[in-house]
Amino acid sequence: MSIKTIKARITELQARIWRHRQYLAHTHKQLALSQRVSPATGHRCRQQLRALQIAIARDSDDLETLNRALIAAIDSQENPQIQEILTRRYLNDQPFAAIAAAMGYDLRWVYRLHARGLGAAGQESKR
């Protein structure tokens, strides 16, 4: 799996976990209110809470696995400058302009090194 694909899946999982946590908080509020209304509604809320907690745990495990895969793909780079660019871009979420400024490189050179790193990582994943 390519570095960009891994990063896209990480972003997707982070958003899904955030949504699940929002639903979880909302369901907790519903459960507190529904205890006074009906036992059936409280039961449904507790079932929904369990399902959300299971989904969050599963997505968190997937997120951890993808993060490890991303770090391994970046660490497999032989060139330390490319490693730094990929780390800043995909782990620290820095824009290319900030990476170029921090490393003292021209923006076009950062783009070239980034493309080389993605190409090398793509060839490593095919092996």
pLDDT tens string for the chain (127 positions)? 789 999 999 999 999 999 999 999 888 887 777 666 677 777 887 888 899 999 999 999 999 999 999 999 999 999 999 999 999 999 999 999 999 999 999 999 999 999 999 998 877 666 5
Rounded CA-CA distance 7/114 in Å is: 14
Q: Are 35 and 42 in contact (CB under 8 A)?
A: yes
Q: Are 21 and 57 in contact (CB under 8 A)?
A: no
Q: Which pLDDT score is estimated for 35? A: 60
> Using N-to-C axis directions, what is the helix angle for 3-34 and 107-126, rounded to 10°?
90
Q: Which pLDDT score is estimated for 41? A: 75
Q: Can you give the pTM of this predicted structure?
A: 0.80
Residues 6+ apart with CB under 8 A from 103: 81, 84, 85, 110
Rounded CA-CA distance 83/89 in Å is: 10
